[in-house]
Amino acid sequence: MAISELSTTETLLPENTIGFVDHQGRPIDRLNSGGWRAASFIIGVEVAERFAYYGISSNLITYLTGQLGESTATAAAAVNVWSGTASLLPLLGAFLADSFLGRFRTIVVASLIYILGLSMMTLLALITLLSSSDCQNNNTAKSCSPHHFQIIVFIFSLYLVAIGQGGHKPCTQAFGADQFDAQNPQERRAKSSFFNWWYFGISFGANSTILVVIYIQDNLNWALGFGIPCAFMVAALVLFLLGTKTYRFSIKSKQRNPFARIGRVFVVAIKTRKATLASEDEAQSSQQFKFLNKALLATPDVSLEDGKLCTLEDVEEAKALLRLIPIWATCLVYAIVFAQYTTFFTKQGATMDRTITRSIKIPAASLQLFIGIGIITFIPIYDCIFVPITRYFTQNPSGITMLQRIGAGMLLSSISMVVAALVEIKRLETAKEYGLIDKPNVTIPTSVWWLIPQYLLCGIADVFTIVGLQEFFYDQIPKELKSFGLSIYMSVLGVGGFLSSILVSIINEATSRDGGDSWFADNLNRAHLDYFYWLLAALSAGGLLAFLYFAKSYNREN
């Protein structure tokens, strides 16, 4: 039988079977499948995939401003748009997985697209490297400019990576969480822990690429710098396939497509909006979004006999999705701050003293390592110390609720922007003191280590908010839409990336009028990133207040 989420059968299942089957469609035993054994394969796959992804994304702004000759503002906007697209495409990948292909198949197909995109980037960088001697032997600027065709191929391959990531990311994480049975108390607790160690693996992969790949890109060549991530993505696919026999595959329901069922609730509710619902039906339904209760009524073209009548379960699942919207929306400001890690933080560090020894200078993009250090250091503390202590007082298996966790991270994110603004003020004052305002290519005698606190705070904030969002959207979504739930979390970061790009463009246009210096001027010594960071700190505080209001309402309704 083909690998997929398989249809239910009438076969009597063994006593220990938990509603899952193996890769051949056979009933399985809890003790011999899934759990941490299977999840370890999947976490390993994600480590390799994140190594590949961050090998491209972490230093992309440097490639755009260096190899492709884009301005700082244009490059930052391009990175935000690509990053936003990469974070929104999981919605499509999750839809295909939950509706048609199943998670396993989607992961395999997405991995192949991913590898194709990385291979094209590597080949393009190699061709550019081989032809660079012609540029060096010709002093004209025209000969050193990238060919228009090269730019088109690079952008195409970059978005192939985004498409591959869009199918890979939500399905891999959902497939990993599926290896734990939520009906078993021990495995349910392990599933909550899985999300922590999943993010630990992501950070380990990201840190590894920052230590190795970015140094190679900045100091050796881009062909090798893109080739290594490509090799790791191939390794990720091989590792995933090796674990096939250990995985649990969910048994797919015989019900209609979950998107069709839930979508029909809204259609029928609109058609029957003027009808009156019986009091007993009204009493059975939750009181929030009462207009959807009208979907329980039959319409002239729908009856109970044709099997298309909306059920109470359908209506409640539709309401569950609507309840997620305010939480999703109030987290967007956090995502705008998240977008700065690989853009302005990097450009800020590039102007500062990055010397470790006389012969070693840390690449500006490698400063993102400290976000990973914050995550890798704090996750074991959170999982092994913070959770058991808070669990003792709250009696919550996870220590604190998922919404409390998200809110705590949003607070830390706001504080990180305050710290970033203060450090930028010091950097500008030092540039003015040493007469370097109009010398953007001269290193400012301020140690880059001043940036470490803002990076560490961002990392710890991610442990709270990012992991909290992952677990929240996986847990609160209907069972058949788990991949889609995780893609909703990723869309927060995607839309946040787009909003960051729009915000940067508006501010850049407004502050550069009448010949003035933009907040994001190419000469950062005349720019005002400090103003931008103060604005983000204020927006983050406002977003947190809105989140707390809707979180309180969400808990009350649940």
CB contact at 8 A, 557 and 476: no
- The string of DSSP letters for 444-474 reads EEEEGGGGHHHHHHHHHHHHHHHHHHHHHHH
pTM: 0.76
For 160-272, list the strands marked E by DSSP: 249-252
Q: Which of 353, 336, 351 is nearest to 521 (CA)?
A: 351
Q: What pLDDT is attached to residue 5?
A: 45
Distance CA 555, CA 558 (A): 5
Q: How confident is the model at residue 108 (pLDDT cuts 50, 70, 90)?
A: very high
pLDDT above 70 coverage of the chain, percent: 88
Distance CA 36, CA 44 (A): 12
Q: What pLDDT is attached to residue 536?
A: 94
**Tens-place pLDDT, residues 471-490:** 899 888 887 788 888 888 88
CB contact at 8 A, 368 and 213: no
Output phi, psi for 516, to 5 deg.
Answer: -75, 170
For 307-331, letters b (16+ CB in 10 Å) and e give: ebbbeeebbbbbbbbebbebbbebb
Q: What pLDDT is attached to residue 107?
A: 93
Distance CA 425, CA 431 (A): 10
CB contact at 8 A, 417 and 541: no
pLDDT above 90 coverage of the chain, percent: 28
**Tens-place pLDDT, residues 487-516:** 888 888 878 888 888 898 899 888 888 777
Residue 317 has pLDDT above 60, yes or no: yes
CB contact at 8 A, 166 and 93: yes
Q: Where are the alpha helices (DSSP H) in 359-401?
A: 369-381, 387-394
Q: How confident is the model at residue 390 (pLDDT cuts 50, 70, 90)?
A: very high
Distance CA 490, CA 469 (A): 9
Distance CA 540, CA 420 (A): 13
- The DSSP call for residue 98 is I
Q: What pLDDT is attached to residue 7?
A: 39
**Tens-place pLDDT, residues 10-31:** 334 444 546 677 777 777 777 7
Domains parsed from the chain with CATH numbers? 18-130+147-254 (1.20.1250.20), 325-557 (1.20.1250.20)
Residue 9 has pLDDT above 80, yes or no: no
| Long-range interactions of 443-446: CB distance < 8 A, separation 24+ | 443/351, 443/352, 443/353, 443/354, 444/351, 444/352, 444/353, 444/525, 445/353, 446/352, 446/353
CB contact at 8 A, 486 and 474: yes
Residue 99 has pLDDT above 70, yes or no: yes
* Residue appearing with tokens 């990180």: 416
